[in-house]
Amino acid sequence: MQQTPIGVFDSGYGGLTVLKEIKKRLPQYDYIYLGDNARTPYGNRSFETVYHYTWQCVQWFFKQNCPLVVLACNTASAKALRTIQQNNLIKNFPEKKVLGVLRPTTEIIGNCSKTNHVGLMATNGTVQSQSYVIEIEKFFPDTTVVQQACPMLVPLIENNEFENEAADYFIQKYLNDLLQKDDKIDTILLACTHYPLIKKRIEKFLPADVSVIAQGEIVAASLNDYLQRHTEIETKLSKNRSIQFYTTDSAEDFKNHASIFYGEAVDAKHVEL
Ligand code: DGL
């Protein structure tokens, strides 16, 4: 019987940190992961380009029979999701669902801060979109959100250069810039799915009373909740506990890198979009 998996998407490897948590929470489903490694990073690209790339990838998931796609990429969620939901799906794919990582995070992040001052580390694209600031304001109007673009972090992480002095230099620089803008910050949200890999290194440079929040578990919990509320989607999903990995770049490279993000070895196939 043909599978109807949940699609999980990222510009590269970062979404694997989210998939890992989703699979832990919801192991019964089938999953397909696609990393657009040939065109990563998305972080410095224009709205039009991020939308164009993301929509192309989402359509690929639809061809693989995915009733539901999760954009496990903040940049794509911030810059492309709304257009996809409001234009493409309504007109051409009303039976499909595409979800992002922004909403689940913005719904709860205000509860994590005692000072009501939240810092955000993200790509240029996510910061420029202002999406987090706008969305958090809706749920937590008393919370101040201060953003820090960290454009060097995704390239360092994608190239496996995140456990050295060069990475520490940029981590420290971005943290200093962030905390200089607001010294009341007690919660830092990692609003990029690549950053969980450097969570410990970030914490190393922070006082103990500042907590660092990664999104994986938050997104997994929210997806669980969504599927319980949307049985019309849940019942369409096949449940054979399978998982397939695809990349738009070299499958060999993907196999060599993916385990750092996913926590276990994976097999991968190359795909032409
Ligand atoms: N993992 C993506 C995110 O969450 C990285 C974006 C990029 O490709 O720069 O924003």
CA–CA dist 79, 55 (Å, integer)? 11
Regarding the beta carbon of 74 and ligand 1, being less than 6 Å apart is answered yes
**Cβ atoms of 185 and 115 closer than 8 Å:** yes
Determine how many CB atoms are found less than 10 A away from the CB of residue 42: 27
Please write the tens of the pLDDT for every residue from 59-72. Answer: 999 999 999 999 99
Q: Which atom of ligand 1 is nearest to the CA of 41?
A: 8
Which residue's alpha carbon is at the smallest distance from atom 2 of ligand 1?
Answer: 73
pLDDT at residue 40 is higher than 90: yes
Regarding the beta carbon of 75 and ligand 1, being less than 6 Å apart is answered yes
Class of 104-214 per CATH? Answer: alpha beta
Q: What is the pLDDT of residue 158?
A: 86
Q: How far is the CA of 155 from the centre of ligand 1 (A)?
A: 10
Average of pLDDT values for 91-105?
A: 97
Give burial (CB, 10 Å; 0-12/13-18/19+) of 156. buried
Residue in the structure block whose two tokens are 């959100």: 145
**Cβ atoms of 62 and 32 closer than 8 Å:** no
| Continuous H helices in 113-247 | 124-129, 131-139, 153-158, 165-181, 199-204, 216-229, 231-234
Q: How far is the CA of 15 from the centre of ligand 1 (A)?
A: 8
Regarding the beta carbon of 42 and ligand 1, being less than 6 Å apart is answered yes
Mutate to test the pocket of ligand 1, among 75, 101, 126, 162 (most ligand atoms within 8 A of CB): 75
Cis bond before residue 41 (omega within 30° of 0): yes
pLDDT at residue 2 is higher than 90: no
Regarding the beta carbon of 193 and ligand 1, being less than 6 Å apart is answered yes
Nearest to 157 by CA among 94, 201, 106: 201
Per-residue burial over 101-140, b if 16 or more Cβ lie within 10 Å, else e, is bbbbbbbebbeebeebbbbbbbbbbbbbbebbbebbbeeb
CATH fold, domain 6-100+217-270, is Rossmann fold (3.40.50)
Regarding the beta carbon of 100 and ligand 1, being less than 6 Å apart is answered no
Confirm whether 192 is a catalytic residue: yes
CA–CA dist 227, 209 (Å, integer)? 35
Mean of the per-residue pLDDT values for the chain? 97
Q: How far is the CA of 1 from the centre of ligand 1 (A)?
A: 34
- The pTM score is 0.96
Domain 104-214 in the same topology as domain 6-100+217-270? yes
Q: What is the pLDDT of residue 254?
A: 96
Q: Which atom of ligand 1 is nearest to the CA of 101?
A: 4
Please write the tens of the pLDDT for every residue from 181-236. Answer: 999 999 999 999 999 999 999 999 999 999 999 999 999 999 999 999 999 999 99
Average of pLDDT values for 257-272?
A: 96
Catalytic residue among 57, 73, 112, 150: 73
Confirm whether 112 is a catalytic residue: no
Question: Within a 13 Å sphere around the CA of 186, how many CA atoms are in the beta-carbon half?
Answer: 10
Q: Domain coordinates of the chain in residue numbers?
A: 6-100+217-270, 104-214
Nearest to 188 by CA among 128, 112, 129, 131: 112
Regarding the beta carbon of 154 and ligand 1, being less than 6 Å apart is answered yes
